[in-house]
Amino acid sequence: MTMRQQTILMVEDDPCDRKLALRAFEKANLKSPIQVVADGIQAMHYLTGEASYNDRAIYPLPAVILMDINTPLMNGFEFLEWLRAQPKLSRLPVVVFSSSEHPSDVNRAYELGANSFILKPLGTEKLIATFQAFISYWLEFNVTPSLETD
C-alpha cells in the first residue's frame, strides 16, 4: 500500500507533549502534513474554516483528528459532542490520544463517537512505534469517509 498525502489535525495543548509528538511523527517517517491546534475551540475554528483557518489550501480538512481529552477551553469530550452534531463533519475519524487509562474516560470517548482510544506511551521509542502504527492504519489502510452529505 502507498501512503496517501492526507492531513492530520492534532489537538494538543501541552507544548512539551506537542513537541515530543511532532518529533516522534518525524522519526516515524510521517510524510503527510500535520496541523496543530491547542484546544477544542481552535479545532472547531479549523474545521469550520473560521478565524485564521479560512484558507483550505493552507488548512485542508484532515483525514483524521488526533485529540487529547484534557485541553483547556473545550476538552476532548466537549469537542466530540460538537463534532458529531455537525452534519458535514460528523464522519471525520477521531483518535483520542491520552495519558488517562481510566475506564470512564475510555468509555465516554467511545460513547461520544471516538473511533479509537490510544494511551500515550512512556518513552520516545514506544511513542515512535505508536505513531508508526497510527500512520500505517489511519493513512495507509483506512479508507476515509466522504464529508459530503448523502
CATH number at residue 80: 3.40.50.2300
pLDDT of residue 150: 52
76 within a domain of the structure (yes/no): yes
pLDDT of residue 31: 86
| Domain count within the chain | 1
- 95 in helix, strand or coil? strand
Segments in the chain below pLDDT 70: 1-5, 148-150
Interatomic CA distance for residues 71 and 125, integer angstroms = 25
CB distance 75 to 69 below 8 Å: yes
92 within a domain of the structure (yes/no): yes
Helix axes 103-111, 76-84, angle to 10 degrees: 20
23 within a domain of the structure (yes/no): yes
146 within a domain of the structure (yes/no): no
130 within a domain of the structure (yes/no): no
* Domain ranges, residue 112: 10-124
pLDDT digits (tens, 9 = 90+) for 113-125: 999 999 999 888 8
134 within a domain of the structure (yes/no): no
